[in-house]
Chains A and B, each alone.
Chain A
Amino acid sequence: MKHITLAATNFRPVDGPRSDNLAGIKPIHRILAPFPVAYFAAALATDLAYWRTAEVMWERFSVWLIAGGLVMSALVALAAVIDLAFGKQRPAWVRALGYTVAVLLSLLNVFVHSRDGYTAVVPTGLMLSAIVVAILLVYSVTAGWTLTYRRGARP
């Protein structure tokens, strides 16, 4: 919320009138960023269910959820690029790196989950799901769903 408040107060007069308008735009990727987190967190839940029950249905939920999370991650990346190009944003490297690592681990995870049978989840898949969710929780709590700063804003 802090970023929006800053933008609304228009506290950088040096940017000129056109920039003022653009500076008021919310980063688009911020709207999308929670989706992969929700998918991957749900996959952790279904992984845990599979680990406890060995019921095939949970493993199938997991692999679709991870695949869905990856599709959403691609949209987040696309939106972040648009924000950087047109939205007067600059990258928040550390947050973006954390988010990217989580997505790459999920990419590994979707392959692990595509194995046949129990070892699609236990232990490697379950572990990867847990690591991904841990990283993304840290990210979401500390970064408020953004991967960028408004250009010129103090971090």
Chain B
Amino acid sequence: MNPRKINRTKLPRFAALFAVGVASLGLAGCDDTGGDPRVQIGANPMLPAIQQYLLPPIRIARPVPWGNDTPKVSQELQIHALAKGFEHPRSLYVLPNGDVLVIESNGPKAPVFRPKDLITGVVQGLAGAKAKDANRITLLRDSKGDGVPELRTVFLDHLNSPFGVALIGHYLYVANTDAIVRYPYEDGQTSITDKGTKLTDLPGGPIDHHWTKALLASPDGSKLYVGVGSNSNVAENGMEAERERAAIWEVDVATGAHRVYASGVRNPTGMQWQPETGKLWAIANERDEIGPDLVPDYLTSVQDGGFYGWPYSYYGQHLDPRVMPQRPDLVSKAIKPDYALSSHVAPLGLAMYTGSALPAQYRGGAFVGEHGSWDRTPLNGYKVVFVPFSGGTPSGPAEDVVTGFLDHNSHARGRPVGLAVDRTGALLIADDVGNTVWRVSSAAASSTSRQGS
């Protein structure tokens, strides 16, 4: 027996196997840098080939404080902080009397299913996304409309990762991550102590990967539309975990009964009625880990019964090989979204502008709050953009409206999330890293133009 001799004869075989193994990983020549996002904005985004990773790219912007700085706007606009010192303000809602609700929320704790989940947790911590969940709604009252609130109260406390809010008549509906709860509300009320009544359960834990539940009331107040995000990046937790998720629900306000209004929308984080056509529009966050320029997040009209591809395909019929078994029957009817916002920008706020206080070019279009990428080089998003509309559809490239969330070292001073238009017609922006609510108004009018309420 001479093991050394035996092993020596095996050596070339090991080398060959090793070479095959490495070659099969397709490492050679991978370019991890994303291209110009502008080619992925609009109705026909450029879609590169799928790229699969050994080490998925992570490119986070470390948080730094704003100090006395503010985000940047064009000369026609001005921006200042409406209020500071929040705990992870995530979305905004303006009540009919002009009071601003700031929803402070940060989602439930994510479970660890794979070693990767441990690392994801650390990365989110570094990006400042692991702050304590305040589970609270704060009220700001600025009766003079000068952008300086004279009253700040805790409006509703002890919620469960709230995100969407909608007022119908004298009832305020709050979308916690696991249920819609109804509270009686009277004009001018500055806090709610009522325990609330559950209208319906929503898909929550134990995974609850995309936890935000966006909420929009129908104009007649009979229905609530709920954005329910997927329970995974691309169905890696199994399709049984995705039941009635990656969908927009229509909930009957009277009975709490629901149906899936549209499906295959990976994470619908904001919904609005398009003012000209009255159609439902939504922003959605698309999937990760197949390249810096895949898949573009989007803004789209939402068709009743429409299927938008997730997880089987993206942008219509582009198949995702990570999903097995595939569903050709669903893919064949997958709708291509109307307007791409470019990849990994993470749109989390949508406001169709119907006010008149901001310069004329903003009327009838859509503001989108782009929280910013965490897995793309160079960084993308971290700004509020404006998509012009004409005849009820987007009519041109998105333009930057509020920037400067990143400093010159690519550190994040803030990240824009939810948007709302206040009673005076100014644009409000929740910033969940800067823990601030920003107010953008017209530089000329200097907040004197009121829409009345």
Contacts and interface: CB of A to CB of B under 8 A. Distances in A.
Contact of B6 (A114, A124, A142): A142
Contacts of B53: 115
Interface stretch (B221-229, B246-254, B320-328, B339-347): B320-328
B127 to A, nearest CB: 19
B114 A105 contact: no
A115 to B, nearest CB: 6
Interface stretch (A18-26, A28-36, A60-68, A78-86): A60-68
A127 B22 CA distance: 11
Interface string A85-120: 000000010110110010001001011101111111
Interface in B1-17: 1-4, 6-8, 10-11, 14, 17
A117 B4 contact: no
Nearest to B117: A114
Interface string B115-131: 11000000000000000
A77 interface: no
B282 to A, nearest CB: 23
Tell me if B's interface is mostly helix, strand, loop or mixed. loop
Given A56-B237, A56-B238, A131-B20, A142 B54 contact: no
A105 B18 contact: yes
B410 interface: no
B2 to A, nearest CB: 7
Tell me if A's interface is mostly helix, strand, loop or mixed. helix
Contact of B10 (A67, A110, A124, A138): A138
Contacts of B8: 94
A94 B10 contact: yes
Contact of B322 (A67, A108, A118, A155): A118
11 contacts: A92-B7, A95-B7, A101-B17, A114-B116, A115-B56, A117-B234, A117-B323, A118-B324, A142-B7, A155-B2, A155-B3
Interface of A: 2, 54-56, 59-60, 63-64, 67, 92, 94-95, 97-98, 101, 105, 108, 110-112, 114-120, 122-124, 127-128, 131, 134-135, 138, 142-143, 155
Which 6 A-B residue pairings sit nearest by Cβ, starting from the closest? A117-B322, A94-B7, A118-B324, A116-B236, A56-B238, A114-B116
